[in-house]
Chain A
Amino acid sequence: MSDIAIHVNGLGKRYRIGSLHTSNYHTLRDSLVSLFQPREKQPNGHIWALRNISFDVKQGQVLGVVGRNGAGKSTLLKLLSRVTEPTEGEAEIRGRVGSLLEVGTGFHPELTGRENIYLNGAILGMKRAEIERKFAEIVEFAEVEKFIETPVKRYSSGMYLRLAFAVAAHLEPEILVVDEVLAVGDAEFQRKCLGKMGDVAREGRTVLFVSHNMSAVLRLTDETVVIDKGGLIMQAPTAEAVDFYLSRGFSQEGQRVWEADEVPFGTAPFRPRAVRVLNSQGKVVNTIRSVEENVIEIEYELSAPVTGLRVGIYLMSTRGEYVFTSFDTDDAAEFERMTVRPAGRYISRCTLPANLLNEGRFVIGVNASSYRVKRYFQDEQALTFTVDAAGAPGMHWPEARLGPVRPRLNWQIEAIQA
């Protein structure tokens, strides 16, 4: 069994409630006070952030890890990279582990690019000689040659991220544990990062890759585990696991409702209520017909007036490709009219025209933001629905049509020579 790089057996991590999100530290006074309180008054709640996790990763395998926010992915990565220790179970790892739980860990704003490369490299576990050898390569990858002697606090955020990722990307551990680092930077940079990740995978190193970006997971990994509510639900070939993940947890009736405890911290004053897909009869449905007009609506509440708010959707294929993005105030006149949206309950509703989408499954993401001010809420995988293409153009040929859209275009066949 020496080809197993990571063997996880019944791993679990328990946190004391309160130490997880709210008060991060105690004062001596708290401890003294609790000493004199009757036992039952002490908060003795514990939650399992992760429990009974078992899986194996073969040497050279790239394993994807997907799950919603708070499902326990980060805890798993923290355990495997030894940042924190498990409460039960065990894991066995053969080989040097490099973990990238964020880019730029330990970067110091006062230090120059050069100094930070050395510092960050050392923190990530690189030897000095190793950093020296790769220095030129790192600088080139980050495209910061001209600013290498400038303190990074003067870098643009893009440069900062490029440099941070460049150092991390040149780590050469046998096992690489990566969390969401690609969720940052512009599209061009993300492509570059993904390319680099692909190289790492092809070099035969073992990679554990956590991401919300389904197309990245599909592209880079062969097998994926799905984690939900602290448990491992499935380990399967990536295509199957991603499909399962995307269709799971979102109710099958064509609507997603956010209960109070599901709303992430810090979205106020925006409070999402629900997102729904309705067919031409106004019924909430899971499957819509592409030849009819359908409606997507977002219900939400504002606890205070918001200036410049836009609420909208992303539409994605289940392969993670974006089909379009649209906001309720895309119309300039409407945006003028709604400059300030007073507190209250709202529904933003849009109509999907007939003959727009191809058959298949689609994912709706929700975004509520004020341009250049604040992103209040975002859920890139709020709801999935299926499109049935019966009656759509070209259905007399029983073949799968490529592409996420299937418009009814106006074709004319003109004979130019009889």
Chain B
Amino acid sequence: MTATGSSRLTAADIQKGNMTVQSDSPVTLIRPPRGWQAINLRDLWLYRELVYFLTWRDIKVRYKQAVLGIGWAIIQPIVTMVVFTFIFNQFLDVKPDAGIPDDWYPIFAFAGLLPWQFFQGALQRASTSLVSNSNLLTKVYFPRLIIPSSAVAAGLVDFGFSFLIMIGLMIYFGVPFTLQMLWLPLFLMVALLTALAVGLWLSALNVQYRDVQHMVPFLLTIWMYVSPVVYPIDVINVSGFWKAVYALNPMVGVIQGFRWVLFGTNPPGWMFAISMTMVLLLLGSGLFYFRRMERTFADLI
């Protein structure tokens, strides 16, 4: 019997009455992997509910035994905002973007922290996600892509709470609500894709090289300072070429976009285009690398 011969019913089979319940069942071929493989979209679709359940588990478990529970999602950005305001605005005299009043620094910083903390949390969880779910990897099949994806998605709930504070702050500071705010999901999506793209690379690398675990906190500290979280993008006073290099960091485009959406300053222009291109490159390569490494996860982990 050949593999192809058995994989479809012939007319003769049907005539002989050999058609069985299983004839319309999916046929799975298991064979050694060869080279680069496309993403298995059919399986991703079949297992879509698992993304939801794993995300839900991450959120539930994270706050289950914490006394303050979801309060942590609120306390963290507020305390950071207060500290930044004192250190950078009061003592180091960092000013917000041109066109924003000086005493708006807290909300200016918060608008940067909003996408940044989401990105930071998502990347942190995604990069260790495969290793911390090793019990699943070695025992059940499902598209491995689901694990880092749901780790990233779990950060959306925290983002939601932070965003509520943002709205409160906007009312307090008298920032007008504009139609521009409808663009916000786009920039959030870019932050999410960036976290996923880098998360794919790091989580797959982490399976083989646990060095990644030590590298991520360090990487994130550096990354925050090369993103305009505490300072306005104008302070990067360099030539166009170096500005383009700076914009290779997708979070530059994201944070700039958030501030544009909320305060109407510095609309994202060519720098955002560079950021977007970088995200797509990272995501494409991340998917390929992840897909290639995926088959060895269960053996290496």
Is A102 at the interface (CB under 8 A from chain B)?
Answer: yes
Query: Does the CB pair B30–A82 fall under 8 Å?
Result: yes
Task: Give CA–CA (A123, B54) in the complex, Å.
Answer: 9
Which A32-89 residues have a C-beta within 8 angstroms of B?
A: 56, 59, 78-89
Q: Cβ of B142 and Cβ of A123 under 8 Å apart? A: yes
Across-interface contacts of B142 in A (CB, < 8 A)? 123, 125
List B140-188 residues whose CB lies under 8 Å from chain A. 140-142
B33 CB, min distance to chain A CBs, angstroms: 5
B138 within 8 Å of A (CB atoms): yes
CB of A32, distance to nearest CB on chain B (Å): 10
Residues of B within 8 A of A5 (CB): 22
Kindly state the separation between the CA atoms of A119 and B52 in the bound complex, as whole angstroms.
Answer: 10
Contact of B141 among A28, A81, A127 (CB under 8 A): A81
Q: Indicate if the CB atoms of A84 and B295 lie closer than 8 Å.
A: yes
Interface string of B23-36 (1 = CB under 8 A from A): 10111111111000
B300 touches A19 (CB 8 A): yes
Task: Indicate whether A87 sits within 8 Å of B32 (C-beta atoms), given known contacts A2-B18, A108-B57.
Answer: yes
| Option from A82, A83, A127 in Cβ contact (under 8 Å) with B28 | A82
Cβ of A90 and Cβ of B30 under 8 Å apart?
yes
CB distance from B153 to the nearest CB of A (A): 15
Whether B30 pairs with A95 at a CB distance below 8 angstroms is no
Say yes or no: A85-B47 contact (C-beta < 8 A), given A92-B3, A96-B26, A111-B57.
no
Rounded to whole Å, the gap between the CB of A52 and the closest CB of chain B is 14
Q: With A2-B19, A25-B207, A105-B136 in contact, is A119–B53 under 8 Å at CB?
A: yes
Interface size of B by CB at 8 A reads 53
Cβ B301 vs Cβ A106 within 8 A? no
Is A388 interfacial (CB-CB < 8 Å)? no
Contact status A92-B27, CB under 8 Å: yes
On whether A80 and B6 interact (CB within 8 A), knowing A2-B13, A96-B25, the answer reads: no
Minimal beta-carbon separation of A126 from chain B (angstroms): 9
For this complex, 8 residue pairs linking A to B, each with C-beta atoms less than 8 Å apart, are A31-B209, A83-B298, A91-B30, A92-B29, A94-B27, A94-B28, A105-B135, A123-B136
Q: A25-B210, A106-B135 are in contact. List 12 more A-B contacts (CB 8 A).
A: A1-B1, A3-B20, A79-B30, A92-B29, A93-B29, A94-B25, A95-B25, A110-B61, A110-B64, A110-B65, A119-B56, A125-B46
Which residues of A are interface residues toward B (Cβ below 8 A)? 1-5, 7, 9, 11, 15, 19, 24-29, 31, 56, 59, 78-97, 99, 101-102, 105-106, 108, 110-111, 115, 118-119, 122-125, 127-128, 151, 174
